[in-house]
Amino acid sequence: MSKQAYVTASGNIAGMNKSTRTSAKVVIVLNEREYEIIYLYYFYGYLEREIAVMLGIHRTTVNRIKQRALGKLREILQN
């Protein structure tokens, strides 16, 4: 990214094109665990039960966190 990006006091991300702003909002809105689960599930193709074993949590917890993260992402992409 050639321009420096920053978050203004109002929460707007300046210095980015629309696509980059959307990507940055995604990173900002997801907590570390949500991001990790989404990444493992969608980018690496792991199953929920495999992610659960890796993270040492129950499969239903993985599903709940994944669904919450997807809801946050839907909300960002709709705006």
pLDDT above 80 (res 10): no
Overall domain count for the chain: 1
Higher pLDDT, 8 or 44: 44
Name the β-bridge partners of 14: 6
Under 8 Å between Cβ of 66 and 48:
yes
Its domain, for residue 52, covers: 6-78
Tens of pLDDT, residue by residue over 35-51, are 999 999 999 999 999 99
Higher pLDDT, 31 or 8: 31
- Is 35 within the bounds of a domain? yes
Single pTM value for the model: 0.66
Q: What are phi and psi of 13, to 5 degrees?
A: -100, 115
Rounded distance between C-alpha atoms, residue 27 and residue 39, angstroms: 11
The CATH number assigned to the domain holding 45 equals 1.10.10.10
Tens of pLDDT, residue by residue over 49-61, are 999 999 999 999 9
The overall average pLDDT reported for the chain is 76
Note the pLDDT of residue 27. 60
Q: How far is CA 39 from CA 8, 33, 35, 57, in A?
A: 27, 10, 6, 16
- Is 1 within the bounds of a domain? no
